[in-house]
Structure formats: structure tokens, C-alpha cells
Structure 1
Amino acid sequence: MTLGSQNLTRLDQLFYSMRDANACFLGYPFAKDFNYEPLWRFLKFTGNNLGDPFEPGTYRVNSHAFECEVVEFFAQLFRAPDDGFWGYITNGGTEGNIYGLYLGRELYPDGVAYFSRDSHYSVSKAARLLRLEHAVVDSQSHGEINYDDLARKASNERNRPALIVANIGTTMKEGRDDTSKIRAVLRDVGVRESYVHADAALCGPYAPFLNPKPSFDFEDGADSVTISGHKFLGAPMPCGVVLARKSNVRRVMRAIDYIGSLDTTLSGSRNAYSPIVLWYAIRCLGIAGIKRMFDQCEQLAAYTADELNDRGVDAWRNPHALTVVLPPVEEGVKAKWQIATQDVSHVVVTPGTTKQQLDALIEAIANSGR
């Protein structure tokens, strides 16, 4: 398979464009500093993780064994029940959120979904796809769900099960909902049955090491947890991990003769490379490496907030957050540095972000109003 010189030139131009854009984006939570060259050889194969990763199947050009190890790593990190958990590697946090709410709907078909205004847009998409009756709950100013408003809305449907999405790091402010408090609110208003899904897309890999630790894992009352692989750990393609209680997964399990395995995932065919990448990352880093990366990122996030405030920019961040929140930036700064902006803008300090990049952005923001 060969390309002509014109198409080779177009590939070169695309590479340089992506390389230049990669050097100056600070508004989205994607890790930048990773090297997976030892894994390039796997691209020679049609790697397809068909079916359930924990079950044998007919098609064997897969990385199921590595996928299971990644799932088990995060199951231990998120205090999942021994032999009572299941999971798989997804195409990203959106798939994980849809899967969590799918399990909740299958458990409680007449349930009402609740999620805050600061939830990722994939949550409302999941509610529409699953045709779930839902209520959007107010958020507090720092991004965490408003528990009083949750109580008001849930009390109106106290005789129906509640399907809750708890944000463990909201999209714009990295606010963290408290699953234990959510459970308590539901009990207090008389909701007898509930399912809690924790969206820990960015914060999941490091949340267990924070002090105090956010309430979000299985022992804290979550029924499913999802993370993104490309946001903090780093991957050249979007990916994620979703974990759930095995008893709930059994409700959606189907045996498929064509693949000689069980169908338990949303996407059926799944690429075999994301599991290898995530396996490689956690094997290289280990717990100590993840902690070290987080400490480095948090120090830079604190530095960024302090420097912006010293320059007269009203910047802030939640405790231990890697997200620095500030007033909306001007269009030129937004375009060059790819800054996500709604009612506020934010800067996200992920692994691979350098002090030099942050200094250049701080200078651009400070000078943009002059």
C-alpha cells in the first residue's frame, strides 16, 4: 500500500498541524507527555476485543488478558467487592456514563434519573438515549451538586427508584459530589431504592489518594464507576474504564453463538489497543507514579492560580483540583490555547503540562485586556 507524493504531503501537513496544536492546548483535560513507541508493533494486527473480557471466545486476536488486569487494578483502587465486580475498557467516559445508567435502568425500569447542571453533556445524552425520565438538579457555585435541591426534586418522586449520577470532578470546575451524602439525602426524603453511578472521568485515577478522599467508590455507595484513560493517565486515543457490581451486569448478559462468548458491553467490537496502552501506563507508573504525577500537576495548578491572581485575574480552584477556574478569556486567547469556556473559562493542568506553557498562557491572559 503506497501513497503518491501529494497525499504524503497532506499527511505531513496534518502531522505538523496536530503537533503544533498539541503544544498549546491547556483548556481540556488530556494528558500530553506519554510515549508508547514499544507498542507500535501491535498495529500490524486487527486487534478486536469482542465480547466479555473475562470469558473465552472464538476470536483470539485480542488483549482480553491485559484488559482484565486493568479492570482489576481499578477495582482494587475503587474498593470494589471481591469477586463481586465486573468491568471493561470503553471508548471513553461517554460510553461509561451510558453504561452505568443502562444498568440502573435495567435494575429499576421505572426509576427517575437525577444529575446536576454541571454534569458532563454525555449524561443528558444518556438519559435521552435510554428514554429515562430525569430531573436536572441545581449546582453549588463551586460545581458540587446542590443537596437541598436534590432533596426537593427526589421527594416529589419518593415512591420511585432514583438513578443518580455523581460527578467526581465536574467538567468546568472539577467540583466533586459526595455519594455518601447523596445516599443519605435519598433515605431522608423516603426514596427506598436507588442506583448511584460515579462519573470520575478525570479524577478517578488520583481521587483515592486525596486527603480527605472524596466519597465516590464502591464502599462509599457507588454501584458503578467510570474513568477516562486519556485524561490523566495519558493515551493517544480516547478510552476509559467502567466498573460495576457483577449482580447488575448479569441482568444485561446475553450469550452470543457467533462470537462464542457473552455480550456484556455496549459496543460489541472494541479495539484491542486501548487495553494494552492502559496496561502499559499502570505497569510503568504503579501507585507511586500516579501519586507523583498528581503532586506535580497540583503544584503547577496552585502556581497558575496564584500567578493569575497576582496579575489581577480572579482565579480559583477547588481543594486539590487540577482545574483552575477564571473569568471568560478573550477570543484570541481562547482560540490559540484552546480554552474551554462557558460562563467561566478554565485551565486544566494534566501530566505533560509544563511551567513554560503555563507562563506563556498567564502572560497572554494578563495582557489580553490591555
Structure 2
Amino acid sequence: MKNLDTSTLHGLTEMRLRALSERLSDERTRFIGFPAALDYDFAGLEPLMRTLLNNVGDPFVRTWHGMNTKDFEQEVIAFFAKLFRAPDDDYWGYVTNGSTECNLYALYVAREKYPSAPVYYSSAAHYSVPKNVHLLGMRGVAVPARPSGEMDYAALERLAAPHCSTAAIVVATIGTTMTEARDSVASIRRALQAAGVRESHVHADGALAGAYAGLLTPRWPFDFEDGASSVNVSGHKFLGSPMPSGVVIVKRVDIERVRSSANYTGSIDRTISGSRNGHLPLILWHAIQRWGVMGLKRRAEQGMALAAYTHGELQRIGWDAWRNPQALTVMLAAPPERLIFKWQLATADGWSHVICMPGVRKAMIDAFVADLAEAQLH
């Protein structure tokens, strides 16, 4: 590439960024197949986006690095600890770069607690679970899932019974990737007890539905009072964030086994990533201030209503579709590939899905159904 003057380079840079903005704005009008809220608005935070914010180390320990938002992070952690009914005086957590890191941390804590325990997880669990099990050198056991995507608890009991002399680690999925099925922590506890397992750590991966599963009626059993040892949630899915994020909550007594590093920052560090994005806690804090618990509940109810409408419209045109109870997700027979790309539909084993996350509008669903109806004619 030949040398270009500064004004030409600036013009080319602006042109590329403008083209990217236009493309993403267009893609956003058809973003209905992946779990991410589209209705976030963080205009008030823009001045802070020009500042380096690094929440290095433990969010509850002051550091010599003053460019941080640890006070806001503590409030985010407290909000989700209360939402997940964690013990008032026995919880700890931090804001991660997504639920894959959350699951890695929860499994890390569980491994330090029970070094030789196998890890049981549903065959419908997120792919990060077996990946993290491998990274940590643990032994994974996939438990068959029912057609709905929920774990088969009788199968868990059968698989755990021969190893009842050792502890068990179980990952419960609260909103599976494709069908939004939810594993019951209470049912998992009963299965382990029936198998003769005396000690266990049950992690609830609430990446998708953790932010609202406890707010619905009937209430789904998945949190600390239901028997979970740790819980996580994604920030960019239901709550809303322009970048991936997550929150993991564990029992404080369990992290005492996790090695901490006293280093040049002045803070111990029990986290995985060390230097952490200080903007993420601020973004999540802003969303919590905007919505609150009742706002999250309303968002879930609106999403379920739109999912019911979507299901009905698919049935109206004769397109094979189904939906789990209380789900924002609607499963449908996979459409032609051009529509999968156009509407950005997650697709596996001949099925696609639509997820009615906050920000998905009825007009988007109507346009999608119209495309399906037209495809039926050809």
C-alpha cells in the first residue's frame, strides 16, 4: 500500500466506520435468533467511555490502581446476590467478560472443594461447560436431556449411583441454548440424594434465564435457597449491554480454598482474568437503575407475550413450531438457508429458533413470518 497523506487516511477511516455502522444498523432490524437485548441506552455513560477503567483484583478489596469502578461492581454483585437469594453474610462474586468465564470460575471453585468429583451436566448444556471441564482437567459426564431440553433426573440418578462414595459436581442449565429449557436444582438435589451422594456442588448456569426465572409464577427452583452452590447470569442477554458480560455469585466459604495473589496492585486476586473491564460493572449498574426488579419482570412478561404471539403466527401459516412453558424462545423447523442468514437464526439438527428478547418488536416477527409464508410458495 502506497503512502497516503493524513487527510486521505482520515477520510478512509471515517468511510469504513460509517459503512460498518450502516451495516450493523441494518442487521439489527433482523436480529431475532440470538439472545441479546436490543433496547439498551447508555448515552449518559459516553463521557466515561473515554476513560481507562480497570477493576483489577478482588472487587471488594481496595487497590492502588484508582481508575476503577469497584464500588459500582459491589452494588451489581449485591443486586444479583439478592435476586438469587444468596445468604446475606456468605456470598462473593465478580463481573466477568461473559458466562463462559462464569462457568469456568464456578467449576474452578467446585474443583478446589472436591478435587476428584466428576462433573455431571445435561447434553443440552452450553458448549462452554464441557470445554471448561476439559480446561480444568476434570472428568465430565453428559446426562441425557428430555426432548424439551431439560435434564433427565432419573438418568442423573443412574449415572451418579455407582460413584456415590465420592462427591458430585452438577451444572444445572437455566435456559438451554436452543430450547430455553431449565433444569431444576431441587430435582437435581433429590436425584443425588436418591443415588446416595452425600456431598455435592450444584452450579446454576443462568446465563440466559437467570435474570428472570425467579420472578415468574410459578417460580422456577434454581437459586441458593433451592440448593444451588453458585449461580451466574449474562449481562448482555436479558439485561442489556453493548458488550458481552456476566456476573458469577458463589458462597464466600467456598472461595477460601481458591488461591489468591497479593501483588503490586495492592489487591488480592481470586478472579480468573486479573485485569478486568471496569466499564462492564458501570453498564450493568446503569441497567439495574433503569429497570429494577419489577422492570425485569415486566420485560420477561412482555417477551413471553411476544413469544406466544410468534408461536401462534407460525401455527397459523402451518409452520412446525413449539415452545417450552415460560420461554422467550420459539422453536421452528429450519427455514431455507437464505432466511437463516437473513434473520440470523441459531440452527441445529433441523431446527431453528426465534428469541423474543427485549427490543424484538412485533413488526420484526410479522416480517419474518411473511418471509416464511412466501418461502412456502416456492
TM-score (norm 1): 0.98
Letter in 1 for 2:192: L
Instruction: Report if aligned partners of 1:139, 1:145 keep a CA contact under 8 Å in 2.
Output: yes
Letter in 1 for 2:14: L
- Report what 1:17 is aligned to: 23
Cα deviation digits, residues 273-310 of structure 1 (max 9, x gap)? 11001000011111121111111111101000011011
Instruction: Report if aligned partners of 1:253, 1:262 keep a CA contact under 8 Å in 2.
Output: no
Q: Which runs of no fewer than 5 residues in structure 1 stay unpaired?
A: none
Query: Aligned equivalents of 1:167 and 1:176: distance in 2?
Result: 6
2:370 to 346, 363, 368: 363
Instruction: Report if aligned partners of 2:33, 2:354 keep a CA contact under 8 Å in 1.
Output: yes
Divergent runs of 4+, >6 A: none
Find out whether 1:285 has 2:313 as its counterpart: no
* 1:117-128 equivalence runs, <5 A: 117-128=123-134
Find out whether 1:207 has 2:219 as its counterpart: no
Cα deviation digits, residues 94-137 of structure 1 (max 9, x gap)? 11111111111110000000101100011011111011111111
For residue 268 of structure 2, give the secondary structure of its aligned residue in structure 1: strand
- Report what 1:178 is aligned to: 184
Count of residue correspondences = 370
Shift in Å, 1:253 = 4.0
Letter in 2 for 1:294: A
Letter in 1 for 2:116: D
Find out whether 1:74 has 2:80 as its counterpart: yes
Shift in Å, 1:362 = 1.2
- Report what 1:87 is aligned to: 93
TM-score (norm 2): 0.96
* 1:116-195 equivalence runs, <5 A: 116-195=122-201
- Report what 1:196 is aligned to: 202
Find out whether 1:348 has 2:348 as its counterpart: no
Query: Aligned equivalents of 1:366 and 1:348: distance in 2?
Result: 19
Query: Aligned equivalents of 1:7 and 1:284: distance in 2?
Result: 35
Letter in 2 for 1:190: G
For residue 73 of structure 2, give the secondary structure of its aligned residue in structure 1: helix
Shift in Å, 1:38 = 0.6
- Report what 1:335 is aligned to: 341
* 1:294-313 equivalence runs, <5 A: 294-313=300-319
What is the Cα-based RMSD across aligned positions, in Å?
A: 1.2
Query: Aligned equivalents of 1:35 and 1:253: distance in 2?
Result: 38
For residue 232 of structure 1, give the secondary structure of its aligned residue in structure 2: helix
Query: Aligned equivalents of 1:366 and 1:147: distance in 2?
Result: 39
For residue 188 of structure 2, give the secondary structure of its aligned residue in structure 1: helix
Letter in 1 for 2:38: K
Instruction: Report if aligned partners of 1:308, 1:366 keep a CA contact under 8 Å in 2.
Output: no
- Once structures 1 and 2 are overlaid, which stretch shifts more, 2-11 or 143-152? 2-11
The percent identity for this pair of structures is 47
